């Protein structure tokens, strides 16, 4: 079955996107990306040191990967826009994940500022991936503003609590024409599969892989789960009923009249 | 314990509600079950934080450490941020009885020239560090704000994040520094007990308790990205001080939601003042402090300086530390100018003298990624 995700003119086969924060060393990032065959990788510009010969995180990212720089640390649209422009100027390409956090306690994204940054950066030719608190209205506005996808959180970032926002994400998937990528909160491969079964375009995972005892093994597990969930979605899941079918139907008399 | 919400109040006005709290009596009522209840609670209340600081909680140090370790990895990953201090001057008009730079110390005074600042910056930059902390004593005459600004402009060329640990400033002065690229403020209240504060700060502008206490609020309200607060352990009963420190951090986190808040818990070290700590703070106590703070405030950074020994620092890291200094010197010009020559005196004694590379190797061997750069100059 040929099934690819096309975003920003690129064709992506592996729908597991990988985040690079929180790893115990940079070499593991390379092993994770090699083994999981991930194609899209997000890196915070704040962590990239172009001037360092030994410490540049980009040296650990395989050449075939698409770099999605993120604006981690931005507190408002203005800072996110500035970081995006700096990233492009530094040679990090034009894929940008907008991450605007004005609440450091729970790390919830600021939807309003994220929308403002998306409007500006889309016009400037960036391929924009806004990270949001799941909300249909904002998602529609982001689509209208030129976002390449929307990235709702599954549960608060880093919590590994799974797809707690399922009911809302399901509606966003149904209503939008651009891909929906669940980003944040996915703790287990089964939860990543659940996102894909709903029809999400991809899943972005960082903490669950980076803090696993064996990050490389966990990345492989996630990659396979994402693939399985995608195939299930394309194959059309059987409808699950919440009750048994009554053996003495109440409307049976209507059919007996037909004979 | 009923706690009022923080609404349009300064930290000082908000913490007045705890004035009647008798911590000794509170600790008498803490039971073993209280401790285990705290560890299984989802959100930790202020009362529960105090419970974790109780003498009886020491029995549960291992359980607390396990919880603290999980919270730290979940929130910060397996990473430790590195920075180093640069002392630009030791002139000081304050008489703080515990400090090696106090005005009565018969030490050689030194202020870096801008050329010397550039030289130090070049050396520190070559270690790969991109975060620097600028320190001075308090002297508006020798090191006025324009001088500090000139130094920062030079450092800006080499570093992506600049924090200051200088005398308390007015709000508009913080604003000026933010404009030229300062993103972090480090300022320790030293001691939260007002009476003791008055006794150990004999004279000078630092004697103004409230002006210092409210400095983080002034800076954050002007848009400072990060604030690191601290209490100098050894001046008062550490349980009382750490309680105040923890609720101060909580106050800042609740009021300035977009700021990154960090905490330091320095113990008094030997220095030219020859001051002896009034209260004992053991290694076990420090471990309890770190885990209690981490459990109460899972998103707050905890900074550990080179005042502690290499071995102790390494062992504390998994308990909740997120930021450590490396290649430190508390000597003015200590990175380059006085190397091998006649040294100017230290502010306090350093126990961990390892350079940046050694610290990096140590962190990697312990399963932590050293983070040398974590901000961009906007």
Domains and CATH numbers, chain B: 11-371 (3.20.20.70)
Helices (H), ranges, chain B: 11-15, 23-28, 32-40, 46-52, 61-76, 114-126, 145-155, 171-179, 194-200, 209-213, 215-221, 238-255, 283-296, 310-316, 356-365
Confidence category of residue B34, pLDDT binned at 50, 70, 90: very high
Chain A: nearest CA to B73, how far in angstroms? 7
Chain B: nearest CA to A254, how far in angstroms? 56
Token output for A144: 């209208």
CA distance linking residue A69 with residue A47, whole number of Å: 10
Q: What is the pLDDT of residues A235-250, one digit of tens each?
A: 887 766 566 667 777 8
Q: Using a CB–CB cutoff of 8 Å, tell me whether A159 touches chain B.
A: yes
CA distance linking residue A100 with residue A151, whole number of Å: 13
Report chain A's mean pLDDT, rounded to a whole number.
90
**Which residues of A form the catalytic set?**
97
Dihedral class, residue B297 (left if φ above 0, else alpha if ψ from -120 to 50, else beta):
beta
* Residue whose pair of structure tokens reads 């101060």 in the numeric block: B248
Handedness of CA B55, B58, B64, B68 (dihedral sign): positive
| Residue B69 β-bridge partners | none
Q: Could you give the 3-state DSSP secondary structure of residue A81?
A: helix
pLDDT, average across residues A203-210 = 92
Nearest residue to A145 (alpha-carbon basis) of A104, A110, A111, A192: A111
Q: What are phi and psi of B194, to 5 degrees?
A: -65, -40
A 109-148 residues with CB < 8 A to B: none
Burial string for B240-250 (b: 16+ CB within 10 Å, else e) reads: bbbbbbbbbbb
Q: Using a CB–CB cutoff of 8 Å, tell me whether A56 touches chain B.
A: no
CA distance linking residue B48 with residue B145, whole number of Å: 42
Confidence category of residue B341, pLDDT binned at 50, 70, 90: very low
Nearest residue to B43 (alpha-carbon basis) of A156, A100, A75: A156
Closest Cβ opposite residue A86 in set B76, B130, B376 = B376
Q: What is the pLDDT of residue A255?
A: 74
Q: What is the pLDDT of residue A14?
A: 93
Sorted by where each starts, the structural domains of chain A and their CATH numbers stand as 5-258 (3.20.20.70)
Token output for B293: 């703070």
Which residue in chain B has the smallest CA separation from A46?
Answer: B375
Q: Residue B369: its chain A contacts at CB < 8 A? A: 23-26
Q: What is the pLDDT of residues A171-184, one digit of tens each?
A: 999 999 999 999 98
- Please check whether residue A141 is in contact with residue A161, taking contact to mean a CB–CB distance below 8 angstroms: no
Report chain B's mean pLDDT, rounded to a whole number.
91
CA distance linking residue B85 with residue B63, whole number of Å: 34
* Most B-contacting residue of A27, A72, A74, A75 (CB-CB within 10 A), to test interface: A75
| Residue A43 β-bridge partners | A69
* Sheet (strand A151-152) strand order: A151-152, A127-132, A95-98, A66-70, A40-44, A16-19, A202-205, A181-183
CA distance linking residue B364 with residue B370, whole number of Å: 7
Q: Which carries the bigger pLDDT value, residue A252 or residue B290?
A: B290
Q: What are phi and psi of A16, to 5 degrees?
A: -95, 115
Answer yes or no: is pLDDT of B258 > 70. yes
Q: What is the pLDDT of residue A40?
A: 94
Q: Residue A187: its chain B contacts at CB < 8 A? A: none
CA A244 to chain centre: 36
Answer yes or no: is pLDDT of A53 > 90. no
Q: Which carries the bigger pLDDT value, residue B375 or residue B337?
A: B375
* Count of other CB atoms within 10 angstroms of residue B138: 20
- Please check whether residue A201 is in contact with residue A180, taking contact to mean a CB–CB distance below 8 angstroms: yes
Residue contact B254–A48, C-beta within 8 A: no
Nearest residue to A207 (alpha-carbon basis) of A148, A162, A143, A259: A162
pLDDT, average across residues B296-315 = 92
Q: Residue A25: its chain B contacts at CB < 8 A? A: 364, 369
Q: Which carries the bigger pLDDT value, residue B239 or residue B4?
A: B239
Answer yes or no: is pLDDT of A64 > 50. yes
Chain A: nearest CA to B157, how far in angstroms? 12
Q: What is the pLDDT of residues A2-50, one digit of tens each?
A: 689 999 889 999 999 999 988 888 888 899 998 888 999 998 999 988 8
Rounded (10°) angle between helices B32-40 and B61-76: 20
Q: What is the pLDDT of residue B340?
A: 43
Answer yes or no: is pLDDT of A60 > 90. no
Long-range Cβ contact pairs of A86-90 (< 8 A, separation 24 or more): A86/A45, A86/B376, A86/B378, A87/A45, A88/A126, A90/A45, A90/A48, A90/A50
In B275-357, beta strands by DSSP E? 301-304, 323-325
DSSP A180: B
* Count of other CB atoms within 10 angstroms of residue B38: 24
Token output for A222: 């996630």
* Most B-contacting residue of A18, A19, A24 (CB-CB within 10 A), to test interface: A24
CA distance linking residue B46 with residue A203, whole number of Å: 37
Nearest residue to B57 (alpha-carbon basis) of B362, B298, B289, B367: B289
Q: Could you give the 3-state DSSP secondary structure of residue B261?
A: strand
**Kind of pairing, strands A5-7 and A10-12?**
antiparallel
Residue contact A79–B378, C-beta within 8 A: yes
Answer yes or no: is pLDDT of B274 > 80. no
Q: What is the pLDDT of residue B6?
A: 67
Q: Using a CB–CB cutoff of 8 Å, tell me whether B69 touches chain A.
A: no
Q: What is the pLDDT of residues A189-205, one digit of tens each?
A: 999 999 999 999 999 99
* Residue whose pair of structure tokens reads 């995180």 in the numeric block: A57
Which residue in chain B has the smallest CA separation from A83?
Answer: B378
Answer yes or no: is pLDDT of A159 > 50. yes
Percent share of chain A, pLDDT over 90: 65
| Residue B86 β-bridge partners | B134
End-to-end CA distance of chain B: 44
Q: Residue A46: its chain B contacts at CB < 8 A? A: 160, 373-376
* Residue whose pair of structure tokens reads 């600049």 in the numeric block: B162
Which of A92-101, A178-187, B11-20, B239-248 shows the lowest mean pLDDT across its residues?
B11-20
CA distance linking residue A112 with residue A138, whole number of Å: 8
């Amino acid at each position: 079955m040929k099934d690819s995700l096309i975003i920003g003119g690129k064709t992506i086969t592996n729908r597991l996107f990988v985040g690079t924060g929180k790893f115990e060393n940079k070499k593991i990032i390379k092993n994770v990306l090699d083994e999981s065959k991930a194609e899209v990788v997000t890196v915070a510009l704040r962590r990239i040191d172009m001037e360092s010969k030994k410490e540049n995180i980009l040296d650990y990212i395989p050449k075939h990967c698409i770099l999605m720089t993120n604006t981690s640390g931005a507190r408002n649209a203005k800072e996110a826009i500035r970081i995006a422009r700096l990233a492009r100027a530094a040679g990090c390409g034009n894929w940008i994940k907008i991450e605007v956090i004005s609440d450091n306690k729970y790390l919830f994204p600021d939807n309003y500022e994220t929308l403002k940054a998306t409007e500006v950066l889309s016009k400037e030719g960036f391929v924009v991936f806004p990270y949001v608190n799941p909300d249909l209205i904002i998602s529609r506005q982001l689509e209208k503003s030129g976002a390449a996808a929307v990235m709702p959180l599954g549960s608060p970032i880093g919590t590994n609590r799974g797809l707690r926002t399922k009911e809302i994400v399901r509606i966003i998937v149904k209503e939008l024409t651009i891909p929906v990528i669940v980003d944040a909160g996915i703790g287990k491969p089964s939860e990543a599969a659940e996102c894909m079964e709903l029809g999400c375009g991809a899943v972005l995972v960082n903490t669950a892989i980076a803090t696993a005892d064996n990050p490389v093994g966990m990345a492989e597990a996630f990659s396979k789960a994402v693939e399985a969930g995608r195939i299930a979605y394309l194959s059309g899941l059987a409808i699950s009923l919440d009750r048994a079918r009554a053996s003495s139907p109440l409307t049976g008399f209507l059919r007996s009249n037909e004979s | 314990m009923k706690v009022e919400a923080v609404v349009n109040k300064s930290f000082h006005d908000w913490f007045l509600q705890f004035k009647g709290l008798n911590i000794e009596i509170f600790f008498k009522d803490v039971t073993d079950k209280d401790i285990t209840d705290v560890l299984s609670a989802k959100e930790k209340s202020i009362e529960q934080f105090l419970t974790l600081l109780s003498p009886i909680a020491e029995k549960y140090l291992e359980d607390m450490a396990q919880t603290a370790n999980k919270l730290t990895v979940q929130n910060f990953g397996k990473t430790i941020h590195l920075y180093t201090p640069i002392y630009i001057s030791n002139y000081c008009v304050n008489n703080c009885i515990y400090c090696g730079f106090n005005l009565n110390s018969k030490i050689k005074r030194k202020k870096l020239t801008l050329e010397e600042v550039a030289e130090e910056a070049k050396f520190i930059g070559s270690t790969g560090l991109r975060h620097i902390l600028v320190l001075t004593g308090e002297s508006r005459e020798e090191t006025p704000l324009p001088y500090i600004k000139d130094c920062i402009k030079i450092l800006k060329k080499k570093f992506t994040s600049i924090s200051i640990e200088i005398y308390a400033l007015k709000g508009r002065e913080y604003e000026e520094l933010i404009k030229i690229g300062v993103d972090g403020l480090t300022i320790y209240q030293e001691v939260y007990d007002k009476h003791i504060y008055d006794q150990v700060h004999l004279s000078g502008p630092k004697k103004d308790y409230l002006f210092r206490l409210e400095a983080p609020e002034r800076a954050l309200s002007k848009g400072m990205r990060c604030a690191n607060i601290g209490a100098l352990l050894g001046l008062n009963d550490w349980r009382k001080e750490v309680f105040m420190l923890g609720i101060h951090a909580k106050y800042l986190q609740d009021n300035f939601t977009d700021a990154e808040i960090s905490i330091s818990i320095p113990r008094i070290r030997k220095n030219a003042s020859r001051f002896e700590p009034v209260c004992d703070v053991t290694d076990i106590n420090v471990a309890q402090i770190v885990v209690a703070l981490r459990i109460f405030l899972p998103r707050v950074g905890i900074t550990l300086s080179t005042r502690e020994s290499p071995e102790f620092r390494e062992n504390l890291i998994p308990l909740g530390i997120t930021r450590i200094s490396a290649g430190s010197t508390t000597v003015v010009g200590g990175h380059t100018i006085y190397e091998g020559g006649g040294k100017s005196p230290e502010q306090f004694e350093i126990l961990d003298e390892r350079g940046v590379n050694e610290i990096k190797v140590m962190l990697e061997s312990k399963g932590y990624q050293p983070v040398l750069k974590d901000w961009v100059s906007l």
